Structure 1
Amino acid sequence: MSLKHKEAFIFTLKLDDLSGAQIIALLQEHLNDMHATSPPESVHALDLSGLKHPSVQFWTIWDGDKLAGCGATKQLDEQHAEIKSMRTSAAYKNQGVASTVLLHLIEQAKTSGVKRLSLETGSMDYFVPAHGLYLKHGFEFCGPFADYSEDPNSKFMCLNL
C-alpha cells in the first residue's frame, strides 16, 4: 500500500518478515531506548523472536528503500489486539510516519474483526509524544489489560473500534 504524505514522500507500508538489516537495527535501537528509559521490570517491548510470533502482524513503512518506521499488533483474543513496537526512524520524526502507521494498524484491526485495541507505554517524559499521538487518534487512558498489572512506570491506553 502506497500513501502520499506532505508531497515530499511516497510511503509504502508492507507486512514485514523481520529479516532485513534495517528493521533489525531499528528494533535494536527501540529496545536500547526502552532499557535506557525504563527499569527492566517495566520494559514490555518485544524482542525479534517475540515479534515473529504467529499472533503478531508486523508492518514497516518505507520511503523508497529507506525504512521510515514500524508498528505491530499482537492478537490477544478474537476481538482484542495490542499495539506493539511503534517506532519512527530518526530521519523521519515529525513527518507523519507514526500517524500513518497507527492509522494503518487501526484499519487492519477493524478489517480483522478486532473491537478493542490496547497498548502499554511508559509514563516518563520521554513517552509524552507517544501519549499525544495516541490521544490524537482517539485512544483513552485505561487500566492494565491482558497480563499487565499496575506499574508506576507504565500507562495503558485503549481504543474501542
Structure 2
Amino acid sequence: MEIRIDDLTEPKVIALISEHLRGMFENSPPESVHALPVDGLKKPEITFWSAWENDEILGCGALKELDPTHGEIKSMRTSSLHLRKGVARKILEHMITVAKERGYSRLSLETGSMESFGPARKLYESVGFQYGKPFADYTEDPNSVFLTMEI
C-alpha cells in the first residue's frame, strides 16, 4: 500500500470523497454532518492523503492544523471494496506519525455516536484516543462524539 499526499483532482479520489459524504448523510442528520466536500479539503491548513495499491484507491484521510500544537483528523474513509483489510489503521498511523513530526502535542476528531460509526470509534480507541468534550468550533451534539489523543 502506498500512502501519498493527494491534490484531490483524481476522479477515483473524488468518487471516494463522494462515497464518504453519502455515507455520512445516510447515517447522520444533516445538521450533524461535519464531513468536508472536495473544495473544503483543499484548504491550506489541511493535508489530504490517499492510499493506493497499483491504480486502485483503498482509502483516504486528512489532517487539519487547528493551531501549531493541535491537529484534527478529518475525512477518514476506506473504500467499500477494501473494508476490514487494515487500510484505515495504516492511514491513521501515518497521520499520527506526521502529527508527531510537525510537533503537535494533541490530535482530536469528531465522529458519529450511532452504531454505524462503532468500527471507527473502536479503531480510534485502539490507538489511544479518549472521549472528551467538543473542541475547536464544535458544540455538544447527541449525534457526535469527540475524541482526543495526547502525542
Out of 85, 88, 96, the position equivalent to 1:106 is 96
Q: Deviations over 1:73-116 (max 9, x none)?
A: 00000000100000001121111100000000000000011110
Q: Distance in 2 between matches of 1:62 and 1:42?
A: 30
- Aligned-pair distance for 1:146? 0.3
TM-score (norm 1): 0.93
Query: Is 1:79 aligned to residue 46 of structure 2?
Result: no
- Match for 2:90: what amino acid? T
**Cα offsets for 1:123-145 (capped at 9, x unmatched):** 00000000000001110011100
Q: State the partner residue of 2:6.
A: 16
> Of 45, 56, 70, which aligns to 2:46?
56
State percent identity of aligned pairs. Answer: 52
Structure 2 counterpart of 1:33? 23
Unaligned runs of 5+ in 2: none
Matched, 1:130 2:120: yes
Q: Cα deviations across residues 43-94 of structure 1 (Å, max 9, x unaligned)? A: 0001111100000000011011100000000000000010000000112111
Kindly provide the CA deviation profile for residues 15-59 of structure 1, in whole angstroms up to 9, marking residues without a partner as x.
Answer: 000000000000001001111111111000011111000000000
The count of residues paired between Structure 1 and Structure 2 equals 151
Residue 145 of structure 1, aligned match among 98, 119, 135: 135
> 2: CA distance between counterparts of 1:126 and 1:154?
12
1:112 and 1:13 mapped to 2: Cα distance? 18
CA RMSD of aligned residues (A): 0.5
Tell me, in whole angstroms, the C-alpha distance in 1 between the residues paired with 2:149 and 2:53. Answer: 28
* CA distance in structure 2 between the partners assigned to 1:47 and 1:92 by the alignment: 22
* From 79, 84, 101, the counterpart of 1:94: 84
| TM-score, length-scaled by structure 2 | 0.99
SS in 1 for 2:137: coil
**Whole-Å separation in 2 of the counterparts to 1:66 and 1:24:** 13
Gaps of 5+ in 1: 1-10
Q: Tell me the distance in 1 between the aligned counterparts of 2:82 and 2:139.
A: 33
* Separation of aligned partners in 2, 1:90 and 1:49: 22
Query: What letter matches 2:91 in structure 1?
Result: V
